[in-house]
Structure 1
C-alpha cells in the first residue's frame, strides 16, 4: 500500500478536480453557456462525491470513537454545502449576487476539503487497514457512478435554506 490509504487518495483526486472546476467557473461571466455547463458539472460532481464519501468512508468512520466527531462534522458540512449549492442554483447567473454567492460558496467549499485533507484524513489513515481500504474504495467508486447519474440541480432559495 502507498503512503496513504487508496480511499483517501481517491477522494483527494476528486477534490483536485473540484478545485479546477471552481477555478474555471470563477473565470466565467454572466449567464453564459460556459458558466452553465461548468456549474452543472460542478453540481453533479459535488453531490455524487459527497454521497459516495458518506456511503463509504464516513459510514465506516462514524463507528470509530477516535473519528466520530470529525465524521459528524464533515457530514454536517456536506449538508451546509449542498444548501449553498442549491441556493446558488436558484440565483440568476447574470446578477451580481450570483458571483458574490459563488465566491462565498467557493471559499466555504475549499475550507471544507482542506480541513478533510489536512485534519481528518491523517486521523482516518490510522484506522484504515488494507482490507477495509479496498472495500471502501470499491464502494466509493460504485456509489459515485450511481449518484452522478442521479444528481440533479435542485434550486432552493436562500429563504428556504437552513441557516
Structure 2
C-alpha cells in the first residue's frame, strides 16, 4: 500500500507509521517468545542469532527511512530495499528457521510461546514509535 502512495502524503506517513509499529512489535515479541527459547538449544542457536540480527537490520532500515524525506524518489528506493530485506527474512523464517525450531520445541513450549507472543506484541505495539536515525555508511 505504501508503494501506491505519492510523495510525502499523510497517507504514506500513516501507512509507514503503522508498518513500523507492526514490524517492531512483532520482532520484539518474537524475540521474547520464540528466539529466547531457541537460542538456549545448541542445535538452533546459530540460526536464532541470525534471525535476531536480521530483526536489528530491519529496525535500522526503518529508523533510517523515518529520518528521511518521504517525498524524495530515493526514499522509495530505500523502501524497496527494506521490502526486499523483509521478504528475504520472512522466507528464511518460514521455510527454514521455524521448521528447525519446531523440531526442538514441545507442545507446552509452543503454548507458552504463543501466550507470551500475543501478550508481548500487544504491549510492544502500544509503545512502538518512529525513531528517526540516519544510517550512514562509514567511508574507510
Taking structure 1 as the reference length, the TM-score comes to 0.82
1:97 aligns with 2:59: no
Q: For each residue in 1:74-113, what CA deviation from the matched residue of structure 2 results, as whole angstroms up to 9, or x when unmatched?
A: 1111111100110011110001110010001110111011
- Cα RMSD after superposing both structures: 1.2
The structure 2 residue matched to 1:87, chosen from 64, 77, 81, is 64
Deviation per residue, 1:103-150 (Å, 9 max, x gap): 011101110111110111110111121111110000001100100000
Aligned residue pairs total 138
Gap runs ≥5 in structure 1: 1-23
Aligned position for 1:71:
48
2:87 and 2:68 mapped to 1: Cα distance? Answer: 21
Deviating beyond 4 angstroms after TM superposition, the runs of 4 or more aligned structure 1 residues are none
What is the aligned counterpart of 1:43 among 20, 24, 28?
20
Using structure 2 for the length normalisation, give the TM-score.
0.95
Structure 2 stretches lacking a partner, 5+ long: none
